[in-house]
Amino acid sequence: MDFLLWEQFRIHETLGLDSAEQRDIIQTNMANARAWAEGPLAQSYKETDEQEAYLADGKVVLPDSYPGLYQGFSEMWTQWQDGAAQGTAMPPIVQNLIIEMFMAGNASFMTYVGFSQPAKSLLRAHGSDDLNATYGPALQDMRATACLCITEKGAGSDLSKLSALATKQDDGRYLLTGHKWLISAGSHEMTDNIYYFVLARTDPKQTGMAGLSCFLVPRYRIDEAGAHRIDNGIRVNEVVTKMGFKGCANTHLLFGEDGVETQAFLLGRMEGTGLQQLMMMMKPARISTGIFALGLASSAHETSVAYSQQRVQGKRFDRAMSARAPSLPIAEHPDVRRMRLDMAAYTSGCRAMIARLGLYQSFEDDPSQPEDLRRAADDISEVLLPIVKAYTSDKAWVVCETAIQTHGGVGFTRDYPAQQNARDCKVLSIWEGTNHIQALFLFRDKLGMCVQPKRLNTLRAAIEDTLARAEATGALDKDVHNLRDALAALGDATAAARDCVRYQRMNDVPQFAVELQAALGDIVIAWHLLEAAEIALKALASGDADAAFYADKVDIARHFLRRRLPQSAASLRAIAGEMQDVVATQLAKTQAA
């Protein structure tokens, strides 16, 4: 993480955080976050699995440690916020790293606090002054948590089928009826209040994506004096049981269906703008999912490497049958090293990608940055967004599998956490829009159906910069060649997709979208690993102290670019060929007609 901040992304220069004081604050915050993540959070991880959230007498019971964790988090976070308000540096790139540590410590717990920040922005942007005055303070000082309620039983990824209904009364109030399903961190007793941000219809006759509004629906309404909490009629009908993430209560919520009315407060001045309002939630939710996945994968990676260093078993390949040959720590066996390099490539590559997104967010938010830099940052961020969500969550499953395998037999037991990491992470390829939906989002919205190459060209130009620097080292020739080859294959695939769109075969592209997204993800990871290797080679040449660390950066990059990336290029050429066949068939049909 230090390497990312001060060597790969050089935030002292790029973000102007060049004073010793600023650096100090960041390092102190990072150290405090680490201590809390490795301490109370990580210590509660196994308990989180053993004390699955459940429903008793209408209330959700969480693992014993959660109220204490919530208090610890609130104190730390509000302190940082106060610091940030006083101008103390906590740029998004640092926040992303800190959140990763928390996710690695106990991801289930983090679902209870994860939506607070976006909820504040939503309320500030679209809530009335009255609403902000009444409900804002508890969100600010964390006496209330926030929770996003979109999904219903009949409408998972398809919002056009939502049916929850907010009916406007003669006195202007909205009363909500209906249900929401699989709502993460949907209820608990850790705070005085919970704010549900609910997507609902106001007119039962409207169907489809139109006519959806977003409401703030508090668990307890606050009376005019601000003193009393009034039951707002929200009931928990079920807490589903899951393969992992067991501390996160995924709830079936009923609104206004128990004889007690549920009041809902419309966000914005008019009905029907809920989807647009929630758009601003999508970006942080997708990044956050990527960080969830990265945290779980990092944890699996680190615990398995630690195990492999202390577990002594087996001998060198050519001396396997010799009674006198020494047994080795399994970390020294070639395949355990191969597994470590795979895990390190995915986790450090994804970490760098997510750090870049944080850096670019600072550029975008800062009008003093040059316009072309801000535009490039925006282009690249848009392309990276679905990849951060989908690629990181898909690879987390692979990393966790590798971590289990590294442990051997004990990896399958619940005595070691890698299997819990695997079980926990599986939801991440599904929620916040499945990874196929991310791939459609990439193809349609981010790459402009491959007909508008602007954003992708910006990304390619940035990668070319890195390639030129890597080439100049003279030590990464094979790697540079492989990444150039993968970029050429990407060009083939996007050209073929574009032709499908041009020749009326647009519907043939989605079947290849997941592979396109996965291969583009590999290219992005390769880019970041190559960038790190180039920096590491320079550090090695300058005789830096920690030679093993930098040499490992080079090894990780070479491993990925030589042994994994060629498969992505092959996959891109394969789908390009399939799409070219589609186009050729279509052209033959047109000519015949």
Yes or no: say if 174 and 167 are a contact pair by the CB < 8 Å rule.
yes
Options 422, 476, 490, 529; binder of a copy of itself; rule CB under 8 A: 422
Task: Considering only the stretches 15-23, 62-70, 225-233, 564-572, report the one whose residues sit in contact with a copy of itself under the rule CB under 8 A.
Answer: 564-572
From residue 581, how far is each of 419, 518, 567, 576, 584 by CA, in Å?
42, 21, 21, 9, 5
Give the number of residues in contact with a copy of itself, rule: CB under 8 A. Answer: 82
Select 71 or 157, whichever has its Cβ closest to a copy of itself: 157
CB of 272 to a copy of itself, least distance (A): 14
Buried b / exposed e along 122-131 (16+ C-beta atoms within 10 A): bbeebbeeeb
Nearer to a copy of itself, 219 or 564 (CB): 564
Minimum Å gap between C-beta 570 and a copy of itself is 4
516 lies in the site for a copy of itself, by CB under 8 A:
no
* 435: three-class secondary structure by DSSP: helix
Smallest gap, in angstroms, from Cβ of residue 450 to a copy of itself? 14
The smaller minimum CB distance to a copy of itself, of residues 197 and 397, is found at: 397
**Dist. CA 333–CA 249, nearest whole Å:** 41
- In sequence order, what are the beta bridge partners of 217? 196
**From 40, 72, 156, 284, residue interacting with a copy of itself (rule: CB under 8 A):** 156
Contact string 220-259 vs a copy of itself (x = CB under 8 A): --------------------xxxxxx----x---------
Tokens of 312: 């002594």
Pairing, β 144-149 against β 174-183: unpaired
The conformation of residue 169, written as its DSSP 8-state character, comes to P
Q: Helix 371-407 and helix 274-310: axis angle, to 10°? A: 40
Of the two residues 60 and 101, which places its CB atom closer to a copy of itself in the complex? 60
- The site string for a copy of itself over 491-510 (x = CB under 8 A, - otherwise) reads ---------------xxxxx
Per-residue CA distances from 561 to 162, 478, 483 (Å) = 45, 8, 7
> Three-class SS of residue 230?
strand
Which of 100-108, 155-163, 187-195, 267-275 is the region at the interface with a copy of itself (rule: CB under 8 A)? 155-163
CA distance 335 to 309: 14
102 binds a copy of itself (CB under 8 A): no
Q: Are 47 and 63 in contact (CB under 8 A)?
A: yes
For the bound state, the minimum distance from the C-beta of residue 414 to a copy of itself, rounded and expressed in Å, comes to 4
SS3 string, 302-325, reads HHHHHHHHHCECCCCHHHCCCCCC
How many angstroms separate the Cα of 320 from the Cα of each of 198, 327, 328, 332, 591? 62, 9, 11, 14, 66
DSSP state letters, 331-381: GGSHHHHHHHHHHHHHHHHHHHHHHHHHHHHHHHH-TTS-HHHHHHHHHHH
The reply to whether 570 sits near a copy of itself by the rule CB under 8 A is yes
Near a copy of itself in 382-421, by CB under 8 A:
397, 401, 404-405, 408-409, 411-415, 419-420
Cα(314)–Cα(130) distance, integer angstroms: 69
Calpha distance 235→34 (Å, rounded): 37
Is 585 a residue that touches a copy of itself (CB under 8 A)? no
Residue 563 touching a copy of itself (CB under 8 A): yes
Question: Buried (b) or exposed (e) across 206-232, using 16+ Cβ within 10 A?
Answer: eeeeebbbbbbbbbbbbeeeeeeeeeb
Q: For the chain, what is the largest distance between any 2 Cα atoms, rounded to a whole number of angstroms?
A: 90
Residue 498 identity: R
111-140: contacts with a copy of itself (CB under 8 A) = none
Stretch that binds a copy of itself, among 73-81, 205-213, 367-375, 546-554 (CB under 8 A): 205-213
The interface with a copy of itself within residues 165-194 (CB under 8 A) comprises 182
- Nearer residue to a copy of itself within complex by CB, 49 or 379: 49
Region of 4-12, 101-109, 204-212, 301-309 interacting with a copy of itself (CB under 8 A): 204-212
User: 511 is written with which tokens?
Assistant: 């079947």
Scanning 24-32, 106-114, 426-434, 526-534 for contacts with a copy of itself by CB under 8 A, the matching segment is 426-434
Task: Pick out residues in 299-318 that bind a copy of itself (CB under 8 A).
Answer: 313-318
Structural contact between residues 424 and 244, judged by C-beta atoms closer than 8 angstroms: yes
- Least separation in angstroms between residue 55's CB and a copy of itself is 14
Q: Which residues in 429-488 contact a copy of itself (CB under 8 A)?
A: 429-431, 434-436, 439-440, 478
In the complex, least distance from residue 110 CB atom to a copy of itself, rounded to whole angstroms = 17
Q: From the CB of 389, what's the least distance to a copy of itself, in Å?
A: 14
Interaction of residue 202 with a copy of itself, rule CB under 8 A: no
Candidate list 60, 165, 575, 579; residue touching a copy of itself; CB under 8 A: 575
Pairing of strands 229-231, 165-168: unpaired
- Taking CB under 8 A as the binding criterion, the range among 116-124, 220-228, 281-289, 425-433 that sits at the site for a copy of itself is 425-433
The verdict on 46 binding a copy of itself (CB under 8 A) reads no
Binder among 69, 569, 582, 583 for a copy of itself (CB under 8 A)? 569
**Could you tell me the two tokens for 419?**
């299997």
Closest approach, Cβ 502 to a copy of itself, in A, equals 14
Q: Which is nearer to a copy of itself, 382 or 401 (CB)?
A: 401
Q: Is 566 in the site for a copy of itself (CB under 8 A)?
A: yes
Report the residue number, 335 or 366, with the smaller CB distance to a copy of itself: 335
User: Is 571 a residue that touches a copy of itself (CB under 8 A)?
Assistant: yes
Residue list 345-374, contact with a copy of itself (CB under 8 A): none
> What whole-number distance in Å separates Cα of residue 388 and Cα of residue 525?
10
Q: Which of residues 321-350 bind a copy of itself (CB under 8 A)?
A: 321-323, 327, 333-335, 337-338
Pull the structure tokens for residue 380.
């690249």
What amino acid is encoded at 313 in this protein? Q
In the list 121, 160, 457, 590, the residue contacting a copy of itself (rule: CB under 8 A) is: 160
CB 194 within 8 A of CB 218: yes
